Amino acid sequence: MRWAFQIERTTLDRRNLFDLLASLGYEPADVPGLEIVLWSTSLEAYTNAGEIWEEAKRLRELISEVTEIDPEFVLGPVLDLSSGVPKRHRFLEASITAKVNVGDVILTVSPPNDLSAEQLAEWNRRRAEQEYQARLESQRAKLVPAFREPRAVKLLQLLKRDSHNGESLYKIYELAEGHPSRRKEFHERFGIPEVEFRRFTDAVHNPVVSGELARHAYEDKPKTANPMSIAEAESFVVGIARRWLASLRD
């Protein structure tokens, strides 16, 4: 079977959408009368439209909710392209309230003052392309790991929190690590010094260090002479999380 699905609405321009989804193995399909149709060789393993719909919904959730790249991403029907005339399969579901996405901060850079009109046009073209590539890379840095690894979905959702305590910070660490049995390998791979990890665990676990923000209720003597503050612990574990997410793209 040759399956595809339609995108009915997106705030992304065509180039951005296609470049982004190419990172996941999706390509545009040319279907007369329909504007944005996506297909992938990975969909050929499915046997019915319901399975394709579930996969399309997973993609929508990643784009609109987990990464918030496009909160207005709306799916159309599933398409069976096996024969000459596309067969449409529509699925009804509850309406979804879109979230507001403030997007990435773009730093405005002014061109040099002594450019000719032709040079200024070229400068603006190059600058626009640089900004596009930077925005695309920021999108891929979230979407590709989330598409490939379920733990990355949970981690990205935690990273979106406005504030953290010891419990949320340690969950971020645990999601990246995977399991304590592989801690030594994980620390070696991502360059995590043992002393820094112990300073981190003092901060997230011990109320003597972090008060009500700590994971544990019982007080104990810190295991290090200079435990991290919660702010330092957040910076430490977010750095680990970013490196782990990047590794999922390799």
Indicate the residue among 148, 172, 200 that finishes a domain.
148
The last residue of a domain, from among 120, 148, 176: 148
What are the residue ranges of helices labelled H in 161-227? 166-177, 183-190, 194-205, 207-210
Q: Given this model, what pLDDT does residue 115 score?
A: 81
94, 126, 148 - which closes a domain: 148
- Do 145 and 175 touch, CB atoms closer than 8 A? no
Query: Which structural domain range is residue 25 located in?
Result: 1-148
Is 194 found in the same domain as 137? Answer: no
pLDDT of amino acid 85: 85
Tokens of residue 137, six digits: 């890379």
Q: Is residue 142 domain-shared with residue 191, that is, in the same domain?
A: no
One domain for residues 16 and 135: yes
Choose among 12, 122, 3, 105: nearest CA to 52.
3
* Same domain, residue pair 117 and 154: no
CB 36 within 8 A of CB 17: yes
Question: CA–CA separation, 60 vs 15, rounded Å?
Answer: 18
Indicate if 120 and 30 belong to the same structural domain.
yes
What's the pLDDT at 1?
64
**What is the pLDDT, as a whole number, of residue 74?**
95
Same domain, 76 and 91: yes
pLDDT, position 104: 52
pTM beyond 0.75, yes or no: yes
Tell me how far apart the alpha carbons of residues 22 and 48 are, in angstroms, rounded to a whole number. Answer: 23
DSSP states along 46-75:
--SHHHHHHHHHHHHHIIIIIS-S-TT-EE
* Residue 219 CB burial class (10 angstroms; 0-12, 13-18, ≥19): exposed
- The pLDDT of residue 83 is 82
| Number of domains composing the chain | 2
- In this structure, the answer to whether residues 154 and 126 fall within a common structural domain is no
What is the mean pLDDT for each group of 10 consecutive residues in the chain (250 residues)? Answer: 92 97 96 93 94 97 97 96 88 58 54 82 90 96 98 97 97 98 97 98 97 94 96 98 96
Find the angle CA(167)-CA(168)-CA(172) to the nearest 5 degrees: 120
Residues present in the chain in total = 250
Shared-domain flag, residues 115 and 222: no
- Same domain flag for 121 and 176: no
- The reply to whether 130 and 47 lie within a common domain is yes
Q: Are residues 227 and 112 in the same domain?
A: no
**Residues 26, 122: one domain?**
yes
